[in-house]
A and B are shown apart, each in its own frame.
Chain A
Amino acid sequence: MLRLDRVTAAYGPIVALREVSLEVEAGSVVTLLGANGAGKTSTLRVISGLLRPQSGVVEYEGERIDRLSPDRIVRLGIAQVPEGRQLFSQLTVRENLELGAYLRRDRAGIRQDLERVFNYFPILAQRQKQAAGSLSGGEQQMLAIGRALMARPRLLLLDEPSLGLAPLVTREIFRIIHAINEQEGLTVLLVEQNARLALDIARKGYVLETGRVVLSDLADNLRRNEEVRRSYLGY
Chain B
Amino acid sequence: MKKTNSLLNDAWSALSKNKAALISAATMAAMVFMVLLGPIFSPYAIDEIDWSMIAAAPSFSDGHIFGTDDLGRDLFVRTMYGGRISLMVGLVATLVSVMIGVTYGAVAGFMGGRIDALMMRFVDVLYAMPFLFFVILLMVFFGRSIFLIFIAIGAVNWLDIARIVRGQTLNIKGKEFVDAAKTGGVSTIKIIMKHIVPNLLGVVVVYVALTVPQVILVESFLSFLGLGVQEPMTSWGALVNQGARQMESSPWMLLFPAVFLATTLFCFNFIGDGLRDALDPKDRTRGND
A-B complex is real = no
